Amino acid sequence: MALQSIKSQSVIPRLDGIARDRLMLQKLRELPDAEFAKEENFVRAQFYLRRALEGVFHIGSHILSRIPGGRVTEYKAIALRLGEVGIVPQEFASKGLKAMAGYRNRLMHFYADVNPAELQQILRNDLADFDTFAAAIKALLEDPEPFGLSVE
C-alpha cells in the first residue's frame, strides 16, 4: 500500500506564517494594558491570532485528510483527532489544541464579545501552544512513515 503524501507546499508556508504571527502577537502582548486596548492594537492582535489559528487547523486538516479515517470537519474534532492518531500529544490535543479551536470559533463567530483583557490574557499565557503544535508538525515532517505518510 502506497504511503499517503503530506504536501509540504501546504504545510511549510503555513508553519512559517504561524511563526510570523506568533512573533507579532508576542510583541503586542508586551504592550501595557491601556496601549493594548487601543483599537488599532486590539484589532491587530485579533487578526494575527485568528490567522495563526487558521494556519494550525488548516495544517491539521491537511494531515488528517491523508490518514485513513482521519478526516473530520469541525475544528475541535481536528484537535482531538490529531491527539488520537498521535500527531500531537494527547493531553495537548484535549486541552491546549481544543481550547485553540474554541477560541478560533469565538474570534470568527462571536468577535463582538471579545474584549482586550481576555485577548491579552491569552497572549500572555498561551502563545507557547503554537510552539508545541509547530514542534509536533516538524517532527511529523521529519519522520512521517510511522503514521503511514510521506512528504512531498
30 is a domain residue:
yes
Please list, in sequence order, all residues whose beta carbon lies within 8 angstroms of the beta carbon of residue 35, skipping any fewer than 6 positions away: 41
- Collapse the DSSP code of 150 into the 3-class scheme (helix H, G, I; strand E, B; otherwise coil) and give the result: strand
151 is a domain residue:
no
pLDDT of 2 reads 64
148 is a domain residue:
no
- What is the residue range of 22's domain? 10-142
Grid cell in block for residue 41: 492594537
Closest Cα partner for 53 from 150, 119, 141? 119
What is the distance between the alpha carbons of residues 21 and 52, in angstroms, rounded to a whole number?
Answer: 6
- Structurally, how many domains does the chain consist of? 1
| pLDDT tens-place values along the chain, 152 residues long | 567 899 999 999 999 999 999 999 999 999 999 999 999 999 999 999 999 999 999 999 999 999 988 889 899 999 999 999 999 999 999 999 999 999 999 999 998 899 999 999 999 999 999 999 999 999 999 999 999 999 99
What is the distance between the alpha carbons of residues 15 and 105, in angstroms, rounded to a whole number?
Answer: 20
pLDDT of 1 reads 53
Where residue 35 sits, what CATH number does that domain have? Answer: 1.20.120.580
152 is a domain residue:
no
What pTM, to 2 d.p., does this model score?
0.94
1 is a domain residue:
no
What is the distance between the alpha carbons of residues 48 and 52, in angstroms, rounded to a whole number?
Answer: 6
Grid cell in block for residue 20: 510570523
149 is a domain residue:
no
Rg (CA), the chain: 16
Decide: 129 and 104 in contact? Cβ < 8 Å: no
pLDDT of 119 reads 96
